[in-house]
Each structure stands twice: as structure tokens, then as C-alpha cells.
Amino acid sequence: MAKKQTFENKLSKSSNKKNQVKLIRSHLSNDKGSVRFSEEMVVVPDGKSVESHLKEILDKK
């Protein structure tokens, strides 16, 4: 029988990846007034919480 692989096992294999989150912003387009979405991958530094780091990024703009 095949060994069941859990999501936790998959994450532990890639331990060299940095802590990343996807930041999705929405804004209204100028021509049609429709909602547009833009996304970017943000690296969260070690020792910082995701929420506080994203708040700093959003406050800058």
C-alpha cells in the first residue's frame, strides 16, 4: 500500500523556503469604473508577524 503523505510532511521537506505571503490589492479602473486586482508576493522577515509587516507595507503607499 502507498504511504499517505500529509500537507505537514510536504511543508517540512521544503524548509529552505522563506516565509512568503500573497498580497492582493483592489482598485477601481479609471476608464470603466470596474474593480481591478493586482497581486504580489511579499517576503515576511524572520521574527515579524505577517499582519504587522503587511500593515507597514500598506501604510507606506
Domain contains 21: yes
pLDDT (0 to 100) of residue 11 = 65
Domain contains 10: no
Domain contains 31: yes
Per-residue pLDDT of the chain (61 residues; tens, 9 = 90+): 677 777 776 666 655 557 889 999 999 998 888 999 999 999 988 888 889 999 999 998 7
pLDDT (0 to 100) of residue 24 = 95
pLDDT (0 to 100) of residue 17 = 58
Distance, in Å, from the CA atom of 60 to the CA atom of 47, rounded to the nearest integer, reads: 20
Containing structural domain, residue 38:
17-60
Identify any residues that bridge with 28 across adjacent strands, giving them in sequence order: 35
Look at the chain and report how many structural domains it folds into. Answer: 1
One-letter amino acid at 56 equals E
